[in-house]
Amino acid sequence: MTTIIIVAILLIIFFAFPIAIYNRLVALRNRFKNAFAQIDVQLKRRYDLIPNLVETAKAYLKHERETLEAVIQARNQAQQTERQAAQDPADPNAMKRLMQAEQGLSGALGRLFALSENYPDLKANQNMMQLTEELSSTENKIAFARQSFNDSVMNYNTGREKFPNIIFANMFGFKEAQLFEIEAAEERQAPKVSF
């Protein structure tokens, strides 16, 4: 009778242990996907603000068409790349492409805001001031969402890499997640929005 009990306990442990590890990895993966969804919300808000900002600036920056077009092109590229990354936030290549696209957009916005310093009427425009304030607020929210995402990715990767979790993670296809980092030091800061 005791042999049957021991065998039953061993079978329960044998099956319960991998199930517990699997469920923990699923929970951690879902947390970082949810954290990416928060970035996604803020990026979409940012992408919606940019065309309004450019339209407001167009009247004042008639001779600066190249800069305005660069902002719109960078916005469209970032938005397209963001959609791809949103489909699978666990894909490290999609995250790298998104980081590069976001760096390009931040650079283009920085050039727009630097250029707008030369146009006092634009700086005083109420619409422009409101849009830049919203964009500045959105940039802060994006930074907080990135931080939350990176914390969730770190927890997931740490949970995934612990022994014996890594054995089951590899067996069940839990791949390492990519942090949302900006590689160029000068682009680690949000574009300066000052009017």
**Residue 7 falls inside a structural domain:** no
**Residue 77 falls inside a structural domain:** yes
What's the confidence (pLDDT) of residue 26? Answer: 92
What's the confidence (pLDDT) of residue 156? Answer: 92
**Residue 192 falls inside a structural domain:** no
pLDDT tens, residue by residue, 2-20: 888 888 888 888 888 888 8
Whole-model pTM: value is 0.69
Using CA atoms, how far apart are residues 158 and 43, in angstroms rounded to an integer?
27
What's the confidence (pLDDT) of residue 177? Answer: 87
User: Domain residues for 86?
Assistant: 16-187
pLDDT tens, residue by residue, 134-147: 888 888 888 888 88
The enclosing domain of 119 has a CATH number of 1.20.1440.20
**Residue 178 falls inside a structural domain:** yes
**Residue 193 falls inside a structural domain:** no
- Residue 9 CB partners (closer than 8 Å, separation 6+): none
Q: How many domains does the chain have?
A: 1
Asked whether 56 and 78 are in contact (CB, 8 A), the reply is no
pLDDT tens, residue by residue, 152-171: 999 999 999 999 889 888 88
What's the confidence (pLDDT) of residue 190? Answer: 52
**Residue 1 falls inside a structural domain:** no
**Residue 75 falls inside a structural domain:** yes
Lookup: tokens for 71 = 């902002």
pLDDT tens, residue by residue, 27-81: 999 998 899 888 888 888 888 888 888 887 776 676 677 888 888 899 899 989 9
